[in-house]
Amino acid sequence: MTSNRQNAKLILEDGSIFQGYSFGSKKPTNGEVVFNTGMVGYPESLTDPSYHGQILTITYPLIGNYGVPGNEKEDNIIKYFESEKIQIRGLVISNYSENYSHWNAKKSLSDWMKEYKIPGIYSVDTRELTKKIRKKGTLLGKIVYNGKENIGFEDPNKRNLVAEVSIKHPVVYKKGKRRIIIVDCGTKNNIIRAFLRRDFTVIRVPWDYDFLKEKADGVVISNGPGNPQLCKATIQNVKKAFSKNIPILGICLGSQILGLAAGASTYKLKYGHRSQNQPCMEVGTKRCYITSQNHGYAVDSETLPEDWREWFYNDNDKTNEGIHHISKPFFGTQFHPEASPGPDDTEFLFDMFLRSMR
C-alpha cells in the first residue's frame, strides 16, 4: 500500500510491541493472538466462527493478492464464506497486496474488512511473532493506532463464545427425505454443504436447543470457538442422546463436547493447531491423513471411559484428534473433514457416519 498509511502497533500482554501499518478498519481491538500457517483460504478463515474473539496472525507472507469473492448464495447458504460475516477481532500479516487479481474477486481484503469494522496491521515480523507464541503459548493482545493505547487486554475464553456465534432459532435447509440435525456451536457452512450434497435435509439448531425434540437420522455437534466446558447445555443434551443410540458426529469443538459428555476431560493447548497440513494418524493403522484444523483445546485421551477409544492422534505432538465409542455410533474428529480451506482427504468420514444410520 502506498497511501493512507497510519502507524499501528500490536501490543502483547508480555509487553512485546510489533510496529506496522494499518489496513481495514482503523479502530483499536483486543483478543487472543493466534497464528495460522495456511498458504491460501483467508476468506474462509476470516469467516470461520471458531476464530471468534481472536486476533489472527497469518504466517504466509503474501495476503490480499486474490481479493475477496461476493455474497452469492447457493441452497440458501452464502457460497464462498464459512459464515455470514468476518469473525476475527483483528488480522496481523507480513505483506498486504493492495492490488488483487482473481476471476471471482469482487473487492479488496481491506475494503471487506472495513465493511465489518475489522482492523488489520501489516509489515509485522510474523515469523518472530509466531516463534514467540510457540515458545510462550497463546498470548492476549491488542491493536492500537497513533499511540492511543486506552484499550485493555481481554481473554475471550472466559466468555461463552459459542452462545455469541450460534443461531438463535432453528433453520431448515430442505433437500432429501433423510434428515440430519446440526447443533450450531459456530458451525462452518461447509459442514452444512457436505450433507446437502449427500441429499440430506439439514435442521440447524442453537447450541443449547433440546435437539431430541426433532426427528432425525443423526446428529452433528459442530465446530466453534472457546472453552468447550462452558457449553454445559450442549453437553447435557448429548448425554441424553447417548441413551437413544442415535448416531452422533462431533467435529472439532463438537468432538471435545462429545468427550466431555462421555466423562472425559479437556484442556487448553499451548498454542493450538491452526493450519491446513496437520498430520493425523489413525490408531491401530499406519495410515496418516493430512488435515485442516482450527482449535485451541483438546480431549485428554487418558481420561476416556473404558467404552471409548482414541481414534486419531496428531503425529506432531501426539495430542488427541478423534474419539469413538467401541460399540455405539458415536464419533468425534478434532480436525475438519469438510476442510474449507485445506485438503478434503478425510471427507469420507461423512460417508462413514451416514452408513452408521439405520
- Active-site annotation holds for 185: no
Alpha-carbon distance 60 to 219, whole Å?
A: 36
**DSSP character at residue 152:** -
Q: What would the DSSP string read from start to end of 203-251? A: EEEETT--GGGS--SEEEE---SS-GGG-HHHHHHHHHHHTTT--EEEE
Residue type, 295: H
Catalytic residue among 44, 82, 321, 338: 338
Alpha-carbon distance 280 to 262, whole Å?
A: 22
- Active-site annotation holds for 338: yes
Catalytic residue among 252, 280, 324, 325: 252
Half-sphere exposure of 217 (CA within 13 A, CB side): 16
Alpha-carbon distance 90 to 35, whole Å?
A: 12
- Active-site annotation holds for 102: no
Helix axes 232-242, 253-262, angle to 10 degrees: 60
Which phi and psi angles does 214 have, rounded to 5°?
A: -95, 145
Cβ atoms within 10 Å, residue 286: 6
Beta strand 73-74 with 201-206: parallel, antiparallel or unpaired?
unpaired
Q: Which residues are catalytic?
A: 252, 336, 338
